[in-house]
Structure 1
């Protein structure tokens, strides 16, 4: 990879990792529904100029139902669920949970779509899910509300289930549509879906300037600019290398939370993160364990 592509990949990981920081900063002020809605609305406003071409508009008109479903599964619902979780969970912990999406994609493909898993991928699933269990078991005592923390973790898992559905649906139904059209159109759809609840559940007390800045960073930086950067990387270095950003998101999420919110990095967070990322690496094929090459002595013994 070129140095510029490596820099873009690191920047993308930093941006998507920062989304959990910004959600943590804004969720208490806006509330989960209003923050999710403002993120989608802000991202849609920033993205619309990129949609104004004949090709993209034609694609959107012909496939608006599918794009709207992707907007619901990949944006509207995850934005709501992660914003809800941000009211109880540290930013770093939410970011670690975001890394389980590839595991769920592989598991659901094997269970319901008859997709084959080799021994290495199956081992990666077992390892990754063990890391999730470790992370949940070691983090249930966070804060003073065990029940709220449990529901927040369930929301993070739910958000990743939505991503899993979106990944499978996109792979099967959206291959003929420009990825940028899907990305921008889905943000517009998410904005329209969340607009009524954003107006209805708008906070009675006006959010602070810090919360507004966090929301703007979430919409413009972590959503609009990050998506454009991601699709630029897809074009330059391919999907496999681009997906290595999944390993950077939890790392940056933990770092930003520790730096700006003074969050404590627990053993459960560190250990769970390492085990989950190892499982993801094996499941996605980014880490391959090659079988040991036979030595001349082996041939002699067999003879």
Structure 2
């Protein structure tokens, strides 16, 4: 893969790491449902501005739009609510690390997806190591009545499964303009999430400047900018390579969580992170292959 693509994937991971800090700020005033609804609404609006400014036109195939709606629900509406829900009970830095399991869930789902990338021995080992690291992260909640924390971690893990599904599902849009995919799918997510948020959480009330800043930050940078880039990169680098931006996302989430939000961090959490990174190294495969060739 070209160096330029790697640079974009690294940048994408860093920007997505910021989203966990934004979530932590947002849930101080609004519900996870409104975090999702606000994020996709702002993201969709910015994408449509870009769409109009670059003089793009919408495809005429009516069958495309229900597929983009499904993409919006799975890739935006659901995980964008699950992550802030999890952060109500678990530190944002740890949820960012759980997001790092996306390559593991992608390997599993791709194995069974029609035409998906099949697992190799190093990817299988990487998945097993990665989930062992997730168990280490969750271990402080075991045996201490921390059922709420366990549920939160499972919610975050479910969000990574949504991402893994859509990384494979989105391959069907290979011939569709990336701005069309991002704009239409985010709009579909907004049309679903706004009435759901009103129904279950009522009218949101935002009184703090930092809440507005976090909302626009997550909507513009962690959503519209990021997903315009995702759909441009996906057909060029593949689902598994693209999911490797989660090497960077946990680092960004941890640094912001500890330095900006002053979240606690235990030694066992660091152990879990290192184990997950070891799993990512196996899934990536390049270092493993290099070590195998070295004796020759």
Would you say same fold, with TM above 0.5?
A: yes
1:130 is the counterpart of 2:132: yes
* Structure 2 equivalent of residue 102 of structure 1: 103
> Structure 2 CA distance, aligned partners of 1:111 and 1:68?
23
Which structure: larger Rg?
1
| Correspondence list, 1:142-181, <5 A | 146-171=146-171, 173-181=172-180
Aligned residue for 2:96, secondary structure, equals helix
> Structure 2 CA distance, aligned partners of 1:18 and 1:50?
22
Structure 1 position 196, deviation (Å)? 0.3
Structure 1 position 209, deviation (Å)? 2.1
CA displacement 1:24-80 (0-9 Å, x = unmatched): 111131011111111111111111123337754116745101111100110000011
Aligned residue for 1:30, secondary structure, equals coil
* Structure 2 equivalent of residue 88 of structure 1: 89
* Structure 2 equivalent of residue 196 of structure 1: 195
> Structure 2 CA distance, aligned partners of 1:68 and 1:121?
31
> Structure 1 CA distance, aligned partners of 2:159 and 2:88?
15
* Structure 2 equivalent of residue 248 of structure 1: 248
> Structure 1 CA distance, aligned partners of 2:43 and 2:204?
24
| Correspondence list, 1:1-303, <5 A | 9-52=9-52, 56-58=57-59, 61-110=62-111, 116-140=118-142, 146-171=146-171, 173-200=172-199, 201-202=201-202, 205-230=205-230, 238-239=237-238, 243-290=243-290, 291-292=292-293
- Give unpaired runs (5+ residues) of structure 1: 296-303
CA displacement 1:189-235 (0-9 Å, x = unmatched): 11111010233323565442222211111111211122334456669
| Conservation of the 8 A alpha-carbon contact between 2:27 and 2:88 | yes
> Structure 1 CA distance, aligned partners of 2:289 and 2:79?
34
Q: Which range moves more in the overlay, 108-117 or 178-187?
A: 108-117
| Conservation of the 8 A alpha-carbon contact between 1:140 and 1:149 | no
> Structure 1 CA distance, aligned partners of 2:117 and 2:92?
34
Instruction: Report the CA distance shift for 1:58/1:272 in structure 2 as closer, same or farther (over 3 A).
Output: same
> Structure 2 CA distance, aligned partners of 1:112 and 1:14?
28
| Conservation of the 8 A alpha-carbon contact between 1:121 and 1:285 | yes
Aligned residue for 2:250, secondary structure, equals helix
Structure 1 position 7, deviation (Å)? 6.3
The number of aligned residues is 291
- Give unpaired runs (5+ residues) of structure 2: none
Aligned residue for 2:288, secondary structure, equals coil
TM-score (norm 2): 0.85
* Structure 2 equivalent of residue 301 of structure 1: none
> Structure 2 CA distance, aligned partners of 1:218 and 1:202?
21
> Structure 1 CA distance, aligned partners of 2:57 and 2:66?
15
> Structure 2 CA distance, aligned partners of 1:212 and 1:288?
45
Instruction: Report the CA distance shift for 1:146/1:138 in structure 2 as closer, same or farther (over 3 A).
Output: closer
Instruction: Report the CA distance shift for 1:262/1:54 in structure 2 as closer, same or farther (over 3 A).
Output: closer
> Structure 1 CA distance, aligned partners of 2:61 and 2:272?
40
| Conservation of the 8 A alpha-carbon contact between 2:131 and 2:276 | yes
Aligned residue for 1:177, secondary structure, equals coil
